[in-house]
Amino acid sequence: MGELLFLAFLLALIIGTFSSMVGVGGGSLNLPTLMFLFSLDYKVAVGTSLIIIVCSSFMSALNYMKQGQIFTRVALCLAIPGLIASATCSYLTQFISTFYLSLFFGFVTFLLGVQMIYPHLRIVFPIFCGPTFEEEKKTSFGNVVRAKLSYFHLLFWGLVSGTANGFTGIGGGLINVPTMVIGNVPMHTAVATSSLVIFCASTAASLVHISLGHVAPFPILFVYVTGAMIGAFIGSRTAHLVAEKKLRLGFGILATSISISVVLRLFL
């Protein structure tokens, strides 16, 4: 058991570092390790994964906020519908089969991933209708970032992200980051802002899963949370050193790989 816990810590550390750098929660990576290493029930693995994400995304958001990289209004527009949908759908998991939902969100995530790899290939379009706003930030690195977005664009994709997160434990940053990038938010800012959105949505969903008893034994939870938080600290401190183009490519590869693995797991 000790060797398994140490391996779990190392995996959580690696996943936490990479996830923080690309603006995802890491649930899609933590889920299979929880189920494979400790033979956890799927719903218990989802609930445990969400608790891990709450802790790691808090660490990431704290660092990114200190760097002045988070668009707070964008985060709120994504987080509010995401939080409501995530909490509601987490509760509904006890009544609804997630097979077709996982299939659908796997397909959506795949399209968004391809869009990130090939930015000039318009697969997913931004929503420009309705009222818009412009947000601007001066980062601690001395550069000024700004973007103009539609409220409807953010509210719609926030709802989609929260629904995916609550039902399947995936979604979150895998949907939030492309949503912002498609809306012309710079990649590094999208990654930073996503960490705050993930924290809000995952907190709501994790509380529901805790109330349903979907939590792994404490030693497993502890090593995962510790590794993930250390990794999130490292990732959020070093993400700015990676070129935006490489960050987008890395994110796209991650998103498409996870979406394919999610769909394959449904049929294997």
| pLDDT-wise least confident of 87-101, 102-116, 184-198 | 87-101
Report the pLDDT value the prediction gives residue 98, as an integer from 0 to 100: 66
| pLDDT-wise least confident of 17-31, 124-138, 139-153, 158-172 | 158-172
Q: Is the pLDDT of residue 187 over 90?
A: yes
Of residues 15 and 94, the one with the higher pLDDT is: 15
| Distance between CA atoms of residues 40 and 161, nearest Å | 25
- What is the percentage of the chain residues whose pLDDT exceeds 70? 98
Q: For Cα atoms 49, 200, 266, give the angle at the middle one, nearest 5 degrees.
A: 35
Report the pLDDT value the prediction gives residue 167, as an integer from 0 to 100: 77
Q: Which pTM value belongs to this model?
A: 0.88
86: closest CA among 165, 198, 172? 165
Percentages of the chain per state (helix, strand, coil), in multiples of 5 = 75, 5, 20
Report the pLDDT value the prediction gives residue 169, as an integer from 0 to 100: 62
Q: For the residues 110-122, what does the mean pLDDT come to?
A: 85
Confidence of residue 68 (pLDDT cuts 50, 70, 90): very high
Q: Given its phi and psi angles, is residue 186 left (phi above 0), alpha (psi -120 to 50 degrees) or beta? A: beta
Tokens 């218990």 locate to: 44
Report the pLDDT value the prediction gives residue 156, as an integer from 0 to 100: 92
- What is the percentage of the chain residues whose pLDDT exceeds 90? 47
| Distance between CA atoms of residues 121 and 137, nearest Å | 28
Confidence of residue 206 (pLDDT cuts 50, 70, 90): confident
The CA-atom distances, in angstroms, between 58 and each of 2, 6, 13 are 27, 23, 15
Q: Is the pLDDT of residue 39 over 90?
A: no
Domain boundaries, the chain: 2-267
Report the pLDDT value the prediction gives residue 170, as an integer from 0 to 100: 63
Q: Is the pLDDT of residue 255 over 70?
A: yes
| Distance between CA atoms of residues 100 and 161, nearest Å | 16
Tokens 């089969």 locate to: 97
SS3 of 142, please? coil
Of residues 249 and 259, the one with the higher pLDDT is: 249
